[in-house]
Structure 1
């Protein structure tokens, strides 16, 4: 009886979705160009989420530092953005642990269009 290929360990996919830290193994996976379809899709999504959060964080922090009118509002918006990034990551991790899809409407399509051209 031939050995069937073992499925991708879920722990590796879960590592990709850990906020901030998962960016680096995801980038490495895409840079190498090796991995299953699911691994590449989760890697692209992880990188897209992390870069979107970083861009928003930097823009809001810059706005807070340069604004005289509403820095408190920008701080609050920045905390909502960061909390949202962490909550979405945890939600995706829970979905993967339940065996459901790791796709996120909008972001998964964006990740495939942008990073599909340059990485993998």
Structure 2
């Protein structure tokens, strides 16, 4: 684990945290941060949350879109559920960005535990 550089600008660090939480696109820099493992613990925690959220959204989005054309009765219900899932993912990402902007921690207990188990 890398200790934070005292000469590093805190605004640059917060900008990186914002980048990790950008829906869909922030997944790639967050995954790269976890892969490299060169950042401090709070930054890796935000990266884990971003990756778990993106994987969860992609998994749900794929399953709901795959099931919609197969059933005439359930098609509209699955597509509406898919839109709620996508809206929730975007709103949760924006809420986490606001918490970073307010200099609060980004803690989602179940996501943090899952992220530590899966993304070591």
Give 1:79 deviation, angstroms. Answer: 0.1
1:71 partnered with 2:75: yes
Q: Which residue of 2 aligns with 1:47?
A: 51
The aligned runs of 1:1-120 (5 Å cut-off) are 4-6=6-8, 7=10, 9-116=13-120
- TM-score scaled to structure 2, two decimals? 0.89
Unaligned runs of 5+ in 1: none
Unaligned runs of 5+ in 2: none
Give 1:104 deviation, angstroms. Answer: 1.3
Structure with greater contact order relative to length (CA < 8 Å, sep ≥ 6): 1
What is the root-mean-square deviation in Å for CA atoms of aligned residues?
A: 1.4
Give 1:101 deviation, angstroms. Answer: 0.7
- TM-score scaled to structure 1, two decimals? 0.89
Give 1:66 deviation, angstroms. Answer: 1.1
Q: Structure 1 residue runs of 4+, over 4 Å off? A: none
Q: State the aligned residue count.
A: 114
Partner Cα separation in structure 2 for residue 100 and residue 57 of structure 1: 30
